[in-house]
Amino acid sequence: QVQLVESGGGPVQAGGSLRLSCAASGRTYSNYAMGWFRQAPGKEREFVAAINWSGTITYYADSVKGRFAISRDNAKSTAHLQMNSLKPEATAVYYCAAGHALTMLSVYDYWGQGTQVTVSS
């Protein structure tokens, strides 16, 4: 059982940056892959980035490659998503997720409540 809480969202101008954080609690956090997903109003939840349990493998959606970076610190039970060169289409609720396997699919076992990111043009 893992509980996840996102933070760091808010308003930002196009071209700016935000750093999202995910604080985890519960058993065996370090054994889980971590992912970030986002969902805009009226759209399906989409994959953004993921990282394996040891931090040695990362996946990114093509739309964010070169601009976003996922990381984790198992000693602090946290994961982060650094978002640079933000575009208005990045406006969405961003969710942190944890699961037993690293994947780009929305099949993670645990989910946070989300944090709103709003990018103005």
pLDDT for 116 equals 98
Q: For all residues of the chain together, what is the average pLDDT?
A: 95
Contacts of 82 (CB under 8 A, 6+ apart): 17, 19, 68, 69, 70, 71
Q: Is the Cβ–Cβ distance between 9 and 119 less than 8 Å?
A: no
Q: How do residues 93-116 score in pLDDT, each as one tens digit?
A: 999 999 999 999 999 999 999 999
Q: How do residues 17-45 score in pLDDT, each as one tens digit?
A: 999 999 999 877 778 999 999 999 999 99
